[in-house]
Amino acid sequence: DAGITQSPRHKVTETGTPVTLRCHQTENHRYMYWYRQDPGHGLRLIHYSYGVKDTDKGEVSDGYSVSRSKTEDFLLTLESATSSQTSVYFCAISASGGPGSNTEAFFGQGTRLTVV
């Protein structure tokens, strides 16, 4: 398995509190992604990063912010958690490079977040 670790793996938090999820990689891959997965909605991209301090929004970015100050770490912050943000969050990484590069995405184990 690729070196990608999510923490925490499970978290219960109260509505209105800030929450930060961490994704750590040891593969030196350029791209990092945060997805949420909910029944009936598949994977939805929240934010992604294409380099240190380079991030962009995905399709469901409202209420979330990200930061990438180092290649290996990509943080997802729920600024003020709401019950609608109860979900399973997956981090993924992928490489870039010249033609023929392996651009396969590798996924973390997921974080189950419950907002009560």
Partner 1 sequence: AQSVSQHNHHVILSEAASLELGCNYSYGGTVNLFWYVQYPGQHLQLLLKYFSGDPLVKGIKGFEAEFIKSKFSFNLRKPSVQWSDTAEYFCAAGSSASKIIFGSGTRLSIRP
Q: Which of 42, 38, 16 is nearest to 115 (CA)?
A: 16
109 belongs to the binding site for partner 1 (CB under 8 A): yes
Side-chain-side CA neighbours of 107 within 13 Å: the count stands at 10
Considering the complex, what minimum distance in angstroms separates the CB of residue 25 from partner 1? 14
Beta bridge partners, 48, equal 33, 56
102 belongs to the binding site for partner 1 (CB under 8 A): yes
Nearer to partner 1, 99 or 116 (CB): 99
CA 109 to chain centre: 11
48 belongs to the binding site for partner 1 (CB under 8 A): yes
Cα dihedral sign, 51-88-41-16: negative
Q: Which stretch binds partner 1 (CB under 8 A): 10-18, 61-69, 72-80, 102-110?
A: 102-110
114 belongs to the binding site for partner 1 (CB under 8 A): no
Q: Which stretch binds partner 1 (CB under 8 A): 8-16, 20-28, 75-83, 100-108?
A: 100-108
State the residues that interact with partner 1 by CB under 8 A. 31, 33, 35, 41-43, 45, 48, 50, 90, 92, 94, 96-105, 107-110
